[in-house]
Structures are given as C-alpha cells and as structure tokens.
Amino acid sequence: MNRKKLLVALVVAGITGLAASMLTFNYLKRPLPAVAAEQTPTGTVVVAAAQIPLGTFLTEGHVKTVAWTTGTLPDGYFATEKDVVGRGLIVDVAANEPILSSKLAPEGAGGGLPVVIPEGKRAVSVKVDEVVGVAGFVLPGTRVDVLVTLNPETEGDSQKPATTRLILQNVKVLASGQKIEKDAEGKPQTVTVITLLVTPEESEKLTLASTEGKIQMALRNAMDMDSVSTEGIQAAELVSEPSRPAPAANAPRRVVAPRPSTQVEVILGDKKTKETF
C-alpha cells in the first residue's frame, strides 16, 4: 500500500513539474513590451570647421553648427554661425572645438595680429635666420629667451671685449613667417621674421639689441616659467684655464712603497741564472 502511494506521489510531482516548466517557457517566449526611448533635449553649438590660428577673421567657411546636449552646453557658446562671423580669434582653435565668447575679440575689432595683443603689451618683429630661430622650432605660442652679442668696442687706448648677455626671458612668440626683401644688389631674398610679445621697456631693449649687436633666441620648456640671473660672458672667459689651488705648505708628501720583487732560478743545460721580477 505504501509503495502504491509513493508511486502516485511521484507521478503527481512529475506532472506538476512539467506543467510549471511549460508555463515558464511560454512566459519567457512572450515579446517584451516596447520601451519608449528617452528623448534627450539638444541644442546647437557653433564649432570650428577646421583648425584656425589666432588672429583669423572668421567667415562662414571657418565654422559650422553641431548638435549638443542641452544640459552640457559650454559657457559663452553661440548657437548660430552669424553670431561669430566677422569677429577675430584671439587664441588658436582646434577642429570641432566650440567657438566661445572668451576666444573672440570684441565686435568691430576686426582680425589680424592687433586683436591678440593684450593691453599694455607691444608686438615687435625681428629678422632671424635658421640658427637664430632655433632651426624653425620657434613657432607661435612658444616662449623664448633672447640673448645679444655685442662686438668689441674701442674706447681710447682700451678695447672692450665681445660680450654676450641674456636680456629678455620667457617672451611669448606671437607669429613667425617670411617676407621678401632685396639684398645689397637689389635681388629679392626670403627673410624669416619672428614677432614677440613684449612690454614697452622690453621693446626698447630688443630693438637696440637687434640694431647694435647680434641676437640669438633660446627655446624654453612651456612649463618652465622661472627667471634666472646671469652675469653674461666675455670672449676671454671662453679660453681661460680654471685656476688650480696650490698645495698646502704643511701638506704631507705621499711616499710610494717599492714593489716587492721575486727571484726565479733558470737552468739552461749546465748553466744557472737568476731572474728578478
């Protein structure tokens, strides 16, 4: 009897499990209800269509509008191209970078180099060659030190030696380019020109240095903002030998002990000799 009840219980359990499996399978096969995609509000932002250098007078070909999430709109953005066309850039702008009000000159200021000169500063251009311009690595936005070398001068019976001195430090380069000039024979030649951003006092030093001597630029690390103090150098110091301190009068003399010698007896036939090493 117990065996019959156990058999019935097993059959009932099997049927119940099968029914539960079928119900679960049918439930999982049902298509999920479509969920409406959340709509994110967007706006438009004016960005650079390509890389644009500072001083550029913006036209319609320089900019474009792109969609931008409303909640992340940058401060000072512009929504339409007409809001930026006709204004000058005061910084370099990369491709697809938003055109912000902080990157533009005031309305009516135009474009070109004048719009990037801060108040109280001056832009001074000097002629350089590949050596002076650090082999072409002096580019807009880099910072340089300026050195000047003055040729020997004769005053009365004495002559001042040639001297090199660091006169300007951490100067920003505004522009670098080339222009055509005529040489002494009237033939056109290409001259590299670098424009530096300086104070009025520094502009006097730079102009006098380029007129009375030969200038040289030293390229700086962009993160190195410290100034140094130097005394300059004269030609005589380049070949002068460093002075050696004289030995002290009571300094003990070093005594070198003789090396120990070794004797070896050499026998050749009936002859014997001794060799010392």
Q: How much is the pLDDT for 47? A: 95
pLDDT at 65: 94
What pLDDT band is residue 186 in, cutting at 50, 70 and 90? low
Residue in the block written with tokens 């931008």: 68
Q: Give the pTM.
A: 0.55
Q: How sure is the predictor about 117, in pLDDT bands with cuts at 50, 70 and 90? A: confident
Work out the percent of the chain whose per-residue pLDDT is above 70: 69
Residue 134: phi and psi, rounded to 5, are 55, 50
Higher pLDDT, 178 or 233: 233
Output the average pLDDT for the chain.
Answer: 78
8/65: higher pLDDT: 65
Question: What is the reported pLDDT for 242?
Answer: 61
pLDDT of residue 189: 47
More confident residue, 85 or 28: 85
Alpha helices in 161-234 (DSSP H): 200-212
- DSSP single-letter state for residue 89: B
Given a cut of 70, whether residue 114 has pLDDT beyond it is yes
| Cα–Cα distance measured from residue 214 to residue 149, given in angstroms and rounded to the nearest whole number | 5
What's the average model confidence in pLDDT over 12-22?
75
Nearest CA among 113, 116, 110, 117 for reference residue 57: 110
- Is residue 46 pLDDT above 80, yes or no? yes
DSSP, residue by residue, 224-258: ---------EEHHHHHPPPPPPPPPTTPPPPPPPP
Residue 271 three-state SS: strand
Q: Are 113 and 174 in contact (CB under 8 A)?
A: yes
Nearest to 74 by CA among 118, 43, 37, 108: 43
Please give the pLDDT value at position 243: 61
Backbone angles phi, psi at 268, to 5 degrees: -120, 100
Q: Which of 33-37, 149-153, 265-269 has the lowest mean pLDDT?
A: 33-37
Nearest to 163 by CA among 213, 121, 105: 213
**What is the tens place of the pLDDT at every residue in 204-256?**
999 999 888 888 888 888 888 888 888 888 877 877 666 666 666 565 666 65
Confidence category of residue 36, pLDDT binned at 50, 70, 90 = very low
More confident of the two residues 14 and 99: 99
What three-state secondary structure class fits 45?
A: strand
> Which residue, among 178, 215, 223, 214, has the nearest Cα to 198 in the 3D structure?
215
Query: Which tens digit of pLDDT belongs to each residue from 65-100?
Result: 999 988 888 899 999 999 999 888 888 899 999 999
